[in-house]
Structure formats: C-alpha cells, structure tokens
Structure 1
Amino acid sequence: MCATANGKAESQSDVSPSTQKLTGKPPAKLLTLPTILTIGRVAAVPLLVGSFYVESWWGPAVTTGIFIAAAFTDWLDGYLARKMDLGTPFGAFLDPVADKLMVAATLILLCTRPFEAGGLGHAPWLLTIPAIAIIGREITMSAVREWAAAQDRKLLEAVAVNNLGKWKTASQMSALTILLAAREGSIIGAKTFAYSGVVLLYISAWLALWSLVVYMSKIWKVLLSQ
C-alpha cells in the first residue's frame, strides 16, 4: 500500500503572531482531512476483527467491506495530501502504521480460521507461509527505514518506496480482499475465487521478499560507496 506525503496546511486563524515572527511560517495543523482518514483506518481494525468472528451470513460481507473501505481511504488520504497540500509529519508517520496494522490483522485472522470454500481448511499452513513472509518483511523494512532515517539522506533515499513496492501493495490488497470475500462459501464460484486469492497472496509474498532484497541491495551499495 502508499504513504501520506509531507506538507503543511496553512491557516491564519490557528497561528499566533509570535510563532509567525519566530519561524516565518505558520505551523502545520495536526489533524487534516488525510490524517483523519488515516486515524479512521486504525480505528477500523477492531471493527474488522469483531465482524470476522460474527457467526452470520453478513459477517464476511461486513469484514470485506471494512477492508475495501480501508484500502480506498489509504489511496484517498495520499491523494488529498498531495493534491491539496494537506500532508503533515504526523500523518506521514501514521499512514504506514495504519496500513501495516490492517494488513497484519487481516492475515492473522485468515490464518486462525480454515476456509470452508474449496477445501482449503485441509491445509491451514497454506496461508500461514505467505502471512509470515509478508509480516516479517514489513517489520524488517520498518526497522531498516528507521535506521536509515537516523543515518544520512542517501540511505533514506535508498529505501524510498519504488514501483516494485507499489505492485506488492496492489497485489496484497487484492489478494486479501478476495480471501475475505471467499469466506462466504455460498457464493458462486467460491472454490475458484478462494484459490485465486491464495495464488495472488503467494505472488504478493514473493514481491514483498524480492522488494526487500532490492532495498537491501541499494543500502549495501550506498554503504560501500562511503
């Protein structure tokens, strides 16, 4: 999934004359619309978990709807931050945290309940393997980016989001949406739907690991050149 861009929202009513005199610029608002959308994604995680364990026909539909809404707001808050210059340092920090919480929670939930569609319940490890790869990669990259930010600009640029990371996020969101929807075994083509989601999740896991290798390779080159 993409991080909220940094920026500042200027509002004269929120700026004290002394602050403007000292900095020459009005301070950024803490809560802009993109940041509020990001906070909403964090707040939606408990709702996702709760609806996942609802023993009713509407449970899978609500869970899938929450996840789709979260994926959409992830795109929307980044778009608004860039288009309207509403990004903030707090939003830039919280955006990837919200994404990782939603993805990790969804992966763990899917691993805790075997599929009824397509007989996937006979191989519970089928989702566990890519889940560990994806979550492990995200934890590793978070640590690497934090370390790079404390070093120098070149290292930070080496771990900037690239096209491979964007493809990883797109395939990951698509796979999880399909797998959540496929929990409703009564839908037409549920078996094919479930298997396509598993295949896409493995592709996402491969892209996640490959992007990690690419990032680490870039870091290694920067370190060797110093």
Structure 2
Amino acid sequence: MNLPNKLTIFRIILVPVFVVVMLSNLKNSLFISAGIFALASITDFLDGYIARKYNLISDFGKFMDPLADKILVASALITMVELNLIPSWMVIIIISREFAVSILRAIASSNGIVIAASKWGKAKTISQIFAIMMILLKIPYSNIVLWIAVFLTIFSGYDYIYLNRNLFKNMD
C-alpha cells in the first residue's frame, strides 16, 4: 500500500478518536479536537499532493480519499450539533449535498464518466474545514464562515448537478 493510501486510512482512524475527544468531558476537549481535526485535514492535503507528484494515484485512493473527507467532516458537524455548537439544519444541508453529489458521481461512473472535483467543490471543502476549526477554537465570527460554507455547499451542489444534467436525460 502506498503512502497516500496510508494517509487516507490514518485520516479515517482519526475520526473515532476525534469524536471520543469531542464528546468527552476533558478540560480542553474542543482545543484537543481542533488539533486532531487539523491533523486529519493536513493528511487530506498531503495524500493528494503526494499521489499527484509521485504518480501514486490508485483506484483505492480515488474512492477512499473523498469518502474519508466526507466521514471526517460529517462526523465533526454531527458531533458539533450534539454539543449545541451549530444548528442541525445547516448540517442536514451539507450532508444532503454530499449524498447528492456522490449519487451523481455513481451515475456518471456507471456511464464511464469521471466527475472531477470542481473549483467550487474545493472551495466548499476549504470553507467547511475553516468553519469547523474556527468553531472548535471559539474564534469570533466563526458563524459567518459557517454561513459561507453552507452557501458554497449549496452552490457547488447546484453547479455539479447543472454541469452534469445530461446524465439525467436518459434515465428510465
């Protein structure tokens, strides 16, 4: 197994650690959770960078890397709802968009089409990571960044569906 795939697996392993720390009654649980989340987010950047730079792109990585990202972000957001740090309706929008785009990619894949990450999808991911980090660290105006993340989530979902609307024309 190559290094990018090991980093992806490591990110998935960090998810339950993150959740347990978040839900613990440790004195600095949010701060520690922010560190774990930051480490996991850095592995996301690193695995992609290493895979592209050293031509280590694999089918496993193509499938598991985005899945690991979704698991990490969804776990963070759901845990934050549990702790009353963010409203559930925002999390529902974000997770629903992830399901919709994943289904769209599955439909495309069944037709031999690969839907690459768009600039709006990347902006959505970055804004979600920043929002989560800011909320965990209790940085002022984190709610504004969360609103931006929700907006980019909706817009990028629309963008993916609009740009690939032809996939729905031949569905029976």
TM (norm. structure 1) is 0.71
Alignment pair present for 1:63 and 2:33: yes
Separation in 2 of the partners of 1:222 and 1:47? 39
**Corresponding letter in the other structure for 1:215:** Y
1:138 aligns with 98
Greater Rg by CA? 1
TM (norm. structure 2) is 0.92
Residues 5-154 of structure 1 aligned to structure 2 (within 5 Å): 31-115=1-85, 127-153=87-113
1:171 aligns with 127
Residues 202-221 of structure 1 aligned to structure 2 (within 5 Å): 202-221=147-166
Separation in 2 of the partners of 1:224 and 1:114? 42
Segments of 4+ moved more than 6 angstroms: none
2:117 aligns with 161
In structure 2, do the counterparts of structure 1 residues 224 and 140 end up closer, same or farther at CA, with 3 Å as the change threshold?
closer
Identity of aligned residues (%): 34
SS at match of 2:149: helix
CA RMSD of aligned residues (A): 1.7
Runs (5+) with no aligned partner, structure 1 = 1-30, 116-125, 183-192
Q: How many residues align?
A: 170
Separation in 2 of the partners of 1:73 and 1:33? 11
Separation in 2 of the partners of 1:218 and 1:56? 46
User: What is the CA-CA distance between 1:56 and the residue it aligns to?
Assistant: 2.5
User: What is the CA-CA distance between 1:85 and the residue it aligns to?
Assistant: 1.3
Separation in 2 of the partners of 1:104 and 1:205? 13
* Cα offsets for 1:141-196 (capped at 9, x unmatched): 1111011100143xx3xx321111111111111000111122xxxxxxxxxx25x2
